[in-house]
Structure 1
């Protein structure tokens, strides 16, 4: 049941995309301060002397050779494992492992391949064109080629929750001081204990101006290489006025550098994109997101009877879903910390209320939060909603909910007629839901619902 809490980290990342309207990669304070310097590939040694934060000689002896090897590199190859952990009240409630494969040739050829459990994203820049393959059968071309340093600090495509420090340490010709030193509150050498009790290593800790803290382990040798970076993004999320973070929550990202080199050769064919025969070319990232927002065709419950459940309302009353039989039900799964959920909810409620006299009811299912937290949130926002509680994610499990916001539309016949995932804008959501309810309110079925098997209706 705890896997349902993953929606917190997933929703926070989605909220970043939703709020910024762009990449999902927030610009670090370091990058913001040195955008002008980031436009050109550095030709000289990285300059730790210009850092506003104090760097002692022992720390300098480690960072200078590492950073210089990256900034002076003509090529790079790296394979990095990313582990993102969502922790609530001291317990890891979701842990997801992904892999980056990165290759580059300075100043403007690179490929970044992110392999996640259920998604693949790859960027190709060959110095002449820049292509983003968002899936094996979906891609779009970016308007212009970017230099590697610009890709590090202002990557125009979402590639994980916070890729900038990873890219700064793996892209040939990038200046790591822009990301790792500028804008820091502090940076210190913690210890020289062996990494995993085997590899001679140096442990470095830094705190950014936005409160984000990171730990970096590099080999303790003349030509150091990165071993691991652990980033605690919780302070950034807490400080944001765009996302509500529940008490006791933390979100960490860990990068383990499985392979890393800034010497040798790189196959130029890695930077060239060849679309699959059946691949669709989209106009832009927004165009691609619009195409997948609210996609319903693969949900396992479409056209099947909606699961029955019992729970409690936000004000402590018992509730049995059987009381909804014979009505069109708009079941909206949400949480108070989910920015897109809160943007979509009033739109969904408004449309459902327009059909209330035709047997349509809107029900908001809060997943993963306690009654006290939900009631406090409703009181603070002065919201009057039909709210059901799903603190352990049992109802969400029953409806195969793997991301929020997600809205399940159930017909008068008790079948799941439509599923909306994410929030693709007020106008689009309002029109789509209105079109669906106009049909369902009179007892019809919509195109996304399929006829159930005979044994499912017996």
Structure 2
């Protein structure tokens, strides 16, 4: 399993990987009926907006998403993205999700569905989901918790399924002037899993959503999969920059015409397999490691020259990358067994602030040397297209092995043990030796 990045390194917010790893792909619990009685003021606030969406034949919306990671009351990471959505009831839509490192578009003309993964790659869906089905549970990765924004922007959808199903409580938090000018109603919901949301709706004859704030921190704490640092918080803020459920929507928006150079894949799995094959061919394998300088979390500096004559293990990771966190304990345990044979292991965090990394690492039972690469300079120098990326470097400075992704605990442990056994004895790993190289004597 890999966390894929292409082009200049950009990061998603910390711990976002839990959305995928834990299979929690919806803000609400789903079809569950509310376990509480809606108060009259909540019903009066939600019914006009939900009815507009449910009765709508068309929709257009632009929604900006800001995912914020907070540590000790300060925002330490922010990742921005945007949704552009158009739809016609019951099953025509286009959903464009654009972030710093992902541009994906979902099309349905009512009969055929297409997912444009990149401008050069697409695949056709075996069947078309209705607007309601898409909003209830999206099978395509369209950002963190896409169901929340889809429930408020697709024509003919019943938002109550998402915003009232599986809830512990919903209340009117008050009325206010949104951004100082728009009269609005502020509602607050608490899910059974601890996740909370705040929704601001314009208080007018034809209400519209203004902002949705989702606090995922309680869910992350409750999972127990990774220790969440004290003072950590992670939230999603959706701002509805434009929104309408009236007027005309051109059918051309729902039709996909592939560019001439685009490649059609049979499925998402085929595309991922092809991408994995390309990632496996790392350009540094069998080559001299580039000069590097590691800045450890305690501020000390480790340079390539300082490690001359040692076996070096460099592992690139991030707090949001699930496979990275699965691989880390395995690599740490295996390399620790070779510590008395001049094997040095450094875990290089990519693209996150040192304050966030310090807080996160302090809660983990890893006992490893961690370096910080907040601007992604090192990951660029080591030409990585995905993480986790781990390089095994011989005392000669040659990159003898490259591991990308997490194949599983047992397999990774065996691979590292076998390779380190060779390297500490001054040997070479066959996969790093050019085919036309002279055999070793």
Q: Is the 8 A contact 1:307 1:399 kept in 2?
A: no
Partner of residue 70 from structure 2, selected from 79, 83, 87: 87
2:110 is matched with 127
Say yes or no: does 1:389 pair with 2:377: no
Report SS of the residue matched to 2:169: strand
Q: Who is 2:19 aligned against?
A: 16
Paired residues of 1:336 and 1:377 also in contact (CA < 8 A): no
| Other-structure match for 2:181 | 198
Aligned length: 411
**Equivalence for 1:33:** 32
Shift of 1:228: 0.8
Once residues 79 and 115 of structure 2 are traced to their aligned partners in structure 1, the CA distance between those partners, rounded to angstroms, is 23
Answer yes or no: is the 8 Å Cα contact 1:331–1:409 preserved in 2: yes
Q: Which residue matches 1:231? A: 214
Q: 2 CA distance for matches of 1:186 and 1:19?
A: 24
Supply the distance in 2 between the matched residues of 1:366 and 1:418 (Cα, whole angstroms).
17
| Aligned equivalent of 1:176 | 159
8 Å contact kept, 2:190–2:197:
yes
CA drift of 1:187 comes to 1.2
Q: Distance in 2 between matches of 1:430 and 1:273?
A: 45
The residue aligned with 1:306 is: 291
Cα drift, residue 309 of structure 1: 3.4
Task: State the TM-score, normalizing by the size of structure 1.
Answer: 0.75
Tell me how far apart the structure 2 counterparts of residues 275 and 431 of structure 1 sit (CA, whole Å). 44
Q: Take 1:304 and 1:175, find their aligned partners in 2: how far apart are those partners?
A: 56
1:112 counterpart SS class: strand
CA contact (8 A) 1:348 1:433 kept: yes
**Aligned match of 1:363:** 345
Distance 1:259 1:333, change over 3 A: same
SS at match of 1:246: coil
Q: Which among 276, 295, 314 is matched to residue 279 of structure 2? A: 295
| Distance of 1:300 and 1:90 partners within structure 2 | 41
Contact 1:59 1:188 in 2 (8 A): yes
Counterparts of 1:224 and 1:394, CA distance in 2:
42
- 2:428 pairs with one of 442, 447, 450: 442
TM superposition shift of 1:240: 1.5
Give, in whole Å, the separation in 2 of the partners of 1:372 and 1:179.
33
Q: Alignment partner of 2:37: what SS?
A: coil
1: CA distance, partners of 2:430 / 2:282: 21
Going from structure 1 to structure 2, the CA distance change for 1:155 and 1:8 (only over 3 Å counts) comes to closer
Distance 1:59 1:373 in 2: 39
1:29·1:208 contact (CA, 8 Å) conserved in 2? Answer: yes
Structure 1, gaps ≥5 residues long: 1-5, 35-50, 449-458
Give the alignment partner of residue 277 of structure 1, picking from 253, 260, 266. 260
Query: Are residues 274 and 324 of structure 1, via their aligned partners in 2, closer, same or farther at CA, if it must alter by over 3 Å?
Result: same
Distance across 1 between alignment mates of 2:411 and 2:264: 22
Structure 2 residues without counterparts, runs of 5 or longer? 1-9, 435-441
Offset at 1:88? 1.3
Deviation at 1:371, TM superposition (A): 7.5
Measure the CA separation in 1 of the matches of 2:60 and 2:401: 45
SS at match of 1:278: coil
Secondary structure of 1:9's match?
coil
Give the deviation of 1:113 after TM superposition.
Answer: 0.3
Moved more, 368-377 or 267-276: 368-377
Deviation per CA, 1:185-242: give whole Å up to 9, x if none.
Answer: 1111122211100111111111111111111111111110011111111111111133
Give the direction of change, closer, same or farther, for the CA distance of 1:343–1:126 in structure 2 (3 Å limit): same
Distance change >3 Å, CA 318–CA 199, structure 1 → 2: closer
Aligned partners of 1:244 and 1:337 also within 8 Å = no
1:116 equivalent in alignment to 2:103: no
Structural mapping, 1:322-337, within 5 Å = 322-334=305-317
Q: Deviations over 1:68-119 (max 9, x none)?
A: 1101111111011111111111111111111100011111111110111122
For residues 295-321 of structure 1, what are the alpha-carbon distances to aligned partners after superposition, in whole Å with 9 as ceiling and x for unaligned? 3789999976130336489xx999665
Separation of aligned partners in 2, 1:137 and 1:436: 37
85-94 or 343-352: bigger deviation: 343-352
Higher mean alpha-carbon deviation, 411-420 vs 251-260, is at 411-420
8 Å CA contact 1:191, 1:204 repeated in 2: yes
1:156 CA drift (Å): 0.4
Q: How does 1:136-155 map to 2 (within 5 A)?
A: 136-155=119-138
Measured in 2, the distance between the counterparts of 1:98 and 1:234 equals 20
Helix, strand or coil for the counterpart of 2:51?
Answer: helix
